[in-house]
Structure 1
Amino acid sequence: MTHADSSLHPTRRSLLQSTFGAAALLTFPTRVLAAPPGFDEWRESFRARAMAKGISAATWQRAMGRVEPDMSVFKQMRSQPEFHEQVWQYINRRVSDWRVINGKIALKNNEALLARIERDFGVERGTLLALWGVESAYGDPLVQQNHMTPVFPSLAALAWNEPRRKAYWETELINALRIVDKGWSTPEQMQGSWAGAMGHSQWMPEVWLNVGIDYDGDGKVSPFGKPDDALGSTAKYLVNRGKWHRGEHWGYEVRAAGNMSGSRTYAAWASAGVTRADGQPFPQPNESAQMWTPVAGGPTFLLGPNFYSVKSYNPSMNYALAICHLGDRCLGAPPFIQPFPGSERALTLAEVQEMQTRLTKAGFDTGGTDGRVGNDTMKAIKDFQQRAGIAPADGYGGLKVLAKLRQGS
């Protein structure tokens, strides 16, 4: 899985769209340049390896026979923007007003599906909503149309000429070929990030192939179109690979006196003086949880097994915390009670749109004024900070940046 948040930011202010149908209409762009020297030779040798893995000649010809490597992937790898975020900035950007508002809309529009997944897998709907929102903006088709590319040219380039993980990329390319071989998709439909992650949940081909389920019963497993397969498969992933515990919440913000750490049951934590920050009792006192304080002086959490199940989706503690908090917010919970040191509240949706509009008028292209913050907006903010002498120039769009922009109007 990838952080779609950092690259998915279509230029419109739409409400939830439940299908990626527009993406399926895209076709491979015309390649006017011949393959770089050495690619054709590699392709022939790789063809033999693919055939040995059971890929049919028809599928090979359809997907790889005339493919040209998308060499832009190497520029993407080299130029991944570096924005050094503090924990509170990381959380604010992912648990944005836009995501909370649209997560509630997604919940309303997919109530029956999410209830079915909860019955079948035990995974909380809030967690699924949050993963969906962070990974693909709740399945907005323009995310796919504007920011996705055909995966076969990308994977072919990486498998051929990315030396550090060549075996990995070849395996993913074979997985993508197997998906076509099964009739689950076509090369034209398989649009993804430059690294090959696709659809509502940003699956790599291996996850699609080995974890994906046909949850809508149409005979295919697809991360595109209706969200049924993607969300059902995401729940299966969390259960099988993340060891999700049915009926348990991910954890709680707590108040704790002194310097405590380690893992105990909630009952043992309560006996040691630890309470939930909202004053409510721990609903499952016999379950175990680990204490974590991301930043000294900030909020403290007791983390249950399902927090680490979410972390299996992306091995980052901050990512897992953002997902779990966004899921709670989509279900009506308030922000964290204890603020992070030096933090400020997140901008509202209207304030983000105002910031984007003012940045654009000042000559800093945000890629749209839809209220989502991705790489274009962050780069625009960083460039503005540098010009305005705001330190640190970290690309974070908060109250200070908005106030400075208003001064210049």
Structure 2
Amino acid sequence: MVAMSIIATQLISITPLFAQAPAAEARSFNAFIQSLWPEAQQRGITRATFDRALGDVQYDAEVAALSRRQPEYGRAVGDYLNGMVSPARINGGIRRLGEWRGLIDSIEHTFGVPGEILVAIWGIETGFGANTGGKGVIRSLATLAFLGYKGDFAKNELLTALLVLQQGHIPPDRMIGSWAGAMGQPQFIPSSFMRWAVDFTGDGKRDLWTSVPDVLASIANYLREHGWKPGLPWGYEVTLPENFDMRRSRASFREWAALGVRRADGGKLTDRRDANGGKEAILFFPSGARGPAFLVTDNFNVIKTYNISDVYALAVLHLADRFRGAPAFAGRWPQDDRQLTREDRMRIQRRLADLGYKVNDFQGMMDFDLRDNIRDMQIKFGMVPDGHPGMEFMGRLVGR
């Protein structure tokens, strides 16, 4: 999945290539790299670190091509989830939970995040460390910085990566990650490494490349610092009663239960003794009302800070549940539910803003506030108000 998934997958942009002959391009790239020295020096980076990391760095045309790719949300949600929550990944996670049980119990006690969640992210990001991306992080970020990728994002991440090297956490030749600069087994970008990576072994290094304790503790620390609430369920797949009022999107678990909403697996949504019964849960249709329905809580949104995609968060949390023996989702996913492209979603956001709705993000990320705005427009269009930004809704809102 990658790119930090923390984060780099949310930072994809369209960047023009420099129309230069290779030799001229190389000269421009080298000149750009040297121009970074004054800012690097201001950040406390030594000349030795700068030269060691960037002295012979080369432009990477493959990274440049990947930076211009427009990601499509073209896979149906059901197909995506089947790929992410595969039997091999379920079995692999269960095996690692057993292998690292003592460590995971210690991390859970320290950070308050369930070990199944940590192992699920580890498995989805890099196959439990088997595939960390294979790109030199310094070269990737240097190329992206040269291209002006996402404004100053890549340049700032490159300079931060130099600080990671200078602190001795990893040598340059072992700083491996994704094309977008996400590093190691948990796919942290350098700035996330500096804020949230943890030296859980106490050896003085935050090793996200080879140390499973540091990897899992760093994921746990990231989630805790982004608001993970211990003991709060992330949510449930649910079934709705006949003639349910689809305009309702937010209520407490107790209120949902009173409205006839039930867990799809037959478990209790809440009872009077349940401390979480009064917590708000949001009704969420990843594929629209034709597909499965979910109630999700603040902990679902915490997973989205790792990767802003709703279906990524759903995959992580469902995988974690499968580790515990939970069944597969009961609802049937529509196979013709083609997810909109990022550009399509941005068009929806711009149009909703033009109509006077508050839009928190103009990069194509659909938060639950925006889905409530979509519900409002669906009511005006005479559509089922499920909050899902599908093709029919986009056609009515902005044209095809």
Q: Which of the five TM-score ranges fits, normalised by the shorter chain?
A: 0.7 to 0.9
Partner residue in 2 for 1:43: 33
Contact 2:4 2:182 in 1 (8 A): no
- TM-score of the aligned structures, taking structure 1 as reference length: 0.72
Tell me which residue corresponds to 1:309.
302
* 1:2 maps onto 2:12 in alignment: no
Which residue does 2:352 correspond to in 1? none
Residue in structure 2 matched with residue 251 of structure 1 by the alignment: 235
CA 204–298 in structure 1, closer or farther in 2 if over 3 Å, else same: same
Alpha-carbon distance between aligned partners in 1 of 2:32 and 2:292, rounded to the nearest angstrom: 53
- 2:92 corresponds in structure 1 to 102
Change (3 A) 1:189 1:285: same
- Using the TM superposition, name which of 323-332 and 254-263 deviates more: 254-263
How far has the Cα of 1:37 moved from its partner? 2.3
Could you say which residue in structure 1 is the equivalent of 2:330? Answer: 337
Matched, 1:235 2:235: no
Partner residue of 1:262 out of 233, 245, 249: 249
Deviations 1:81-109, CA, capped at 9 Å, x for gaps: 75711111111111111111111111111
Q: Which residue of 2 aligns with 1:130?
A: 120
Coordinate RMSD, CA, aligned: 2.2
Q: 1:167 to 1:321 in 2, by over 3 A?
A: same
Which runs of 5 or more structure 1 residues have no equivalent in the other structure? 6-31, 344-409
**Contact 1:158/1:166 (8 A) holds in 2:** no
| Equivalent-residue separation in structure 2 for 1:199 and 1:64 (angstroms) | 20
After TM superposition, what 4+ stretches of structure 1 lie above 3 angstroms from structure 2?
A: 32-35, 78-83
The amino acid of 1:318's aligned partner reads V
The Cα offsets for residues 155-186 of structure 1, whole Å up to 9 and x where unpaired, read as 111111x2342411110001100001111111
In the alignment, the residues of structure 2 paired with residue 40 and residue 87 of structure 1 have an alpha-carbon distance, to the nearest angstrom, of: 43
1:172 is aligned, of 157, 164, 167, to 157
Contact 2:3/2:188 (CA < 8 Å) preserved in 1?
no
Cross-structure match for 1:56: 46
1:226 to 197, 211, 229: 211
Quickly say closer, same or farther: Cα 1:316–1:82, change in 2 above 3 A.
closer
1:193-239 CA-partner distances (Å, limit 9, x unpaired): 11111111111111111111111111111211121112111111112
Residue 300 of structure 1 deviates from its aligned partner by: 1.1
Partners of 2:335 and 2:43 lie apart in 1 by 55
Deviation at 1:116, TM superposition (A): 1.4
Which of 116, 126, 136 is 1:150 aligned to?
136
Q: Distance in 2 between matches of 1:335 and 1:3?
A: 27
Give the Cα–Cα distance (whole angstroms) in 2 for the partners of residues 303 and 212 of structure 1.
27
Percent of paired sites with the same residue: 37
For 2:45 and 2:119, locate their aligned partners in 1 and report how far apart those are by CA, in whole Å.
35
1:324 matched to 2:320? The reply is: no
Name 1:285's counterpart in structure 2.
277
Could you tell me how far 1:277 is from its partner in structure 2?
1.4
CA offsets, 1:232-253, max 9 Å, x none? 1111111212x11111121111
1: CA distance, partners of 2:212 / 2:198: 12
Give unpaired runs (5+ residues) of structure 2. 6-21, 337-400
| Distance verdict in 2 for CA 1:33–1:234, change over 3 Å | farther
Aligned length: 311
Q: Secondary structure at the match of 1:233?
A: helix
